[in-house]
Chain A
Amino acid sequence: MTFPLADIQIEALAEDAWLLRFGQTIDGAVNDRVHAAAAKLQAGLDHVECVPAYASLLLRFEVTQWLDDDGRFAAERLRAAIAAVWNERSLVDKPAREVSIPVCYDGVDLSDVATHAGMSTEEVATRHTTALYRVAMLGFAPGFPYLLGLDPALAMPRRSSPRTSVPAGSVAIGGQQTGIYPQDLPGGWQLIGRTPMRLFDLAAASPSLLAPGDHVRFRAIDQGEYERLAIDPGARP
């Protein structure tokens, strides 16, 4: 079941979940719209959970909150509520938060990435720290950020055979994206560095260092500073 709301498509993914699709590509402008919509809908609708992805937004609701008097699901009422929030101008999206993440650029695949890009390892680090990234979505594992904004010259395909374990804190490149492993995980991305920051901490009030829509900038650090910061991995920039 799909129907248009302005220029987005709404698909009923399950009884209690609609998927709002904004495009079909991994694209910064599309992703910006996803996050703007997520902020609006989260603020304007009660009892819903918004899960942003690259070009789509999952709206998960409680079916029991959207029943008509005769007990039937009130799809039209939910659609109207979404449209009303959509057109509500007072719900402007907040400016994105910027998070700085220190990285020691000494990853095991750094020289491969440099060779693939035809530049020095120093140049890879410089270009990686120059860009401003956007957290397109979190997924794969809790707190794993998929970051858009990688310098196209640094793009490199995933490894043909994934590693069974990539250490927590690894900063990596996978295709056009860059990301950070929040815990020890299997993975096929190219490892260019490591951060002492703890990306996901179940004991923290807000468990994830990053939220969808955040801006991220990397800051190069040397091994000495990595060791100093790693003593207190809970410290957040």
Chain B
Amino acid sequence: MSVEVIKPGLLTSLQDAGRRGYAQLGLGRAGAVDEPARRLANALVGNNGDEAALEITLAGPTLRFQHDAVVALTGGLIEARVDGQPLPAWTSCFVPAGSVLRLGGMRHGCRSYLAVRGGFDGTLVLGSRSSDLHAGVGRAVQSGDVIAIGEHTPASWFRPGRTMQALRWGLDPQPWLDYAREPLALLRGHHWQALDDASQHALFNQRFMVSKDSNRTGHRLEGAPLQLRHPLELISEATLPGTLQLPPSGQPIALLAEAPVTGGYPRIGQLAAVDLPRLAQRRPGDTVSFRETTLDEALQRLTEREASLQHLLQRIEQRLESA
């Protein structure tokens, strides 16, 4: 079973939970930049969660399904039609063999996730199917690609037919999709103290704009330049997704899923992990502001988010089974 890529969209790549255990060799995790959205998309098609989904950036691909398939679309709100008929997002949908799914422009957010029952069966490299465009592992999806779909049992909640079907229920994207209103929680970084007084204040008070020069490695943030009291001579040390670096330009870079494993720029902040998908869903031209958080608060929000996500994943599974 497979899907044929007719048009690739702006930047579409296969992403799973990421590649773990190779950071010491210079290879980061990659994986979906909005991991809760990817997990929820997988849950809505009855996958166990490890499967790769398509991560779609701003403008979507056109795909032909060569066999009946069950799909779900989460993340950024994107125009989606199956043979002209609107495909609802955040729910489970049946698409018949031969149908064409056209994903258009994204009305809100920056990344959507398309999961398919069985998972997209991309090449497994070092334990993961995630493309790491920064590291040169895998590549973006191209026209003419045929992506295999993993083995799976038919979904019990659909009776295969000739037309697209959708469940009567779906998820509310609200708690999971950022509507770009709230400031994002930021921990002080190791070199925050090295910022001058005005820049320390500005980091938590000014608005930054996400630059169009942003990608899966990081968002470049534009605003009044931040300055250090004195230049710092640093030696490279570990960086992570969510690390806010300050290069000499004074315009911070917020690292995302394809963060390099080490870096030598001052680290002025670390985004709370729960707000990392929110940052990743802000698109070029969107503004972003930060509020200061503590490690305790960030940990508490993370464990609460994980608990509510687990709860929701279980409820989806139960509801699909009882359908």
Q: Chain A residues in contact with chain B, CB under 8 A?
A: 1, 11-17, 19, 21, 24-26, 38, 49-56, 58, 60, 63-64, 67, 71-73, 137-144, 146, 183, 200, 202, 207-208, 211-212
Q: How many B residues are at the interface, by size bracket? A: 35 or more
Instruction: Name which of B238, B242, B270, B306 has the most chain A CB atoms within 10 A of its CB.
Output: B238
Would you call B295 and A138 a contact (CB within 8 A)?
no
Among A12, A56, A71, A212, which residue has its beta carbon within 8 angstroms of that of B24? A212
B238 CB contacts on chain A under 8 angstroms: 13, 17, 19, 51, 53, 56, 58
- Looking across the interface, which residue of chain A has its beta carbon closest to that of B123? A202
**Chain A neighbourhood of B97, CB < 8 A:** none
Chain B residues with Cβ below 8 Å from A14 are 187, 240, 242-243, 270, 273
The distance from the CB of B275 to the nearest CB of chain A, in whole angstroms, is: 11
Let me know if A63 and B236 touch, CB within 8 A: no
B125 at the A/B interface (Cβ < 8 Å)?
yes
Contact A16 B273 (CB under 8 A): yes
Contact string against A for B residues 294-308, beta-carbon threshold 8 Å, 1 for contact and 0 otherwise: 010011101100110
Contacts A14-B273, A49-B20 hold; do A141 and B306 have CB atoms under 8 A apart?
Answer: no
**Which residues of chain A come closer than 8 Å to B303, judged between CB atoms?**
63, 67, 71-73
Q: Within 8 Å of chain A (Cβ to Cβ): is B279? A: no
A-B contact pairs, 10 of them (CB 8 A): A51-B24, A51-B238, A58-B240, A60-B240, A67-B303, A72-B300, A138-B24, A141-B135, A183-B136, A211-B25
Report yes or no: A13 in contact with B26, Cβ–Cβ below 8 A: no
Any chain A CB within 8 A of the CB of B27?
Answer: yes
- Chain A's closest residue to B21 (CB) is A49
Question: Is B260 located at the chain interface by the 8 A CB criterion?
Answer: yes
A202 to B19, CA, bound (A): 12
With A60-B23, A142-B25: A25-B235 Cβ-Cβ less than 8 Å: yes
Query: Which residues from chain B contact A25 at a C-beta distance below 8 Å?
Result: 235
8 Å CB interface, B252-277 against A: 260-262, 267, 270, 272-273
Asked if B107 lies at the interface with its beta carbon under 8 angstroms from chain A, I say: no
**Inter-chain pairs besides A142-B22, A202-B126, 9 sampled, C-beta below 8 Å:** A17-B240, A49-B24, A53-B262, A56-B237, A56-B238, A60-B23, A60-B240, A137-B236, A140-B26
Q: Is B10 an interface residue (CB 8 A)?
A: no
List of B residues within 8 angstroms of A16 by Cβ = 273
Instruction: Please report the C-alpha to C-alpha distance between residue A14 and residue B269 in the assembled complex, in whole angstroms.
Output: 10
Chain B hits for A137, CB < 8 A = 236, 262
Contacts of B295 in A (CB 8 A): 1, 12, 15
Chain A residue nearest to B134 (CB atoms) is: A141
Closest A residue to B187 by CB, please name it: A14
A-chain residues with CB within 8 Å of residue B23 when the two chains form the complex: 49, 51, 58, 60
- List residues 223-250 of chain B with CB under 8 A from any CB of chain A: 235-238, 240, 242-243
Interchain CB contact (< 8 A) of A11 among B22, B190, B302, B306: B190
Do A202 and B237 touch (CB < 8 A)?
Answer: no
For B274, give the chain A residue with the smallest CB separation. Answer: A15
Q: Which residues of B contact A202 (CB under 8 A)?
A: 125-126, 137
Distance of B22 from chain A, by nearest CB (Å)? 7
Q: Are B190 and A139 in contact (CB under 8 A)?
A: no
Q: Nearest residue in A to B307 (C-beta to C-beta)?
A: A71
Q: Which residues of A contact B26 (CB under 8 A)?
A: 138-144, 200, 208
The distance from the CB of A231 to the nearest CB of chain B, in whole angstroms, is: 24
5 A-B pairs closest in CB distance: A58-B238, A139-B262, A138-B26, A208-B25, A142-B27
In the complex with contacts A15-B272, A211-B25, A53-B136 CB distance below 8 A: no
B262 nearest in chain A by CB position: A139
- In the complex the two chains form, is B20's CB within 8 Å of A143's CB? no
Residues of B within 8 A of A51 (CB): 23-24, 238, 261-262
| Whole-angstrom distance between the Cβ of B27 and the nearest chain A Cβ | 4
Per-residue contact bits, chain B 1-42, to A (CB 8 Å; 1 contact, 0 not): 000000000000000000011111111000000000000000
Q: A73-B303, A207-B25 are in contact. Are A142 and B135 (CB under 8 A)?
A: yes
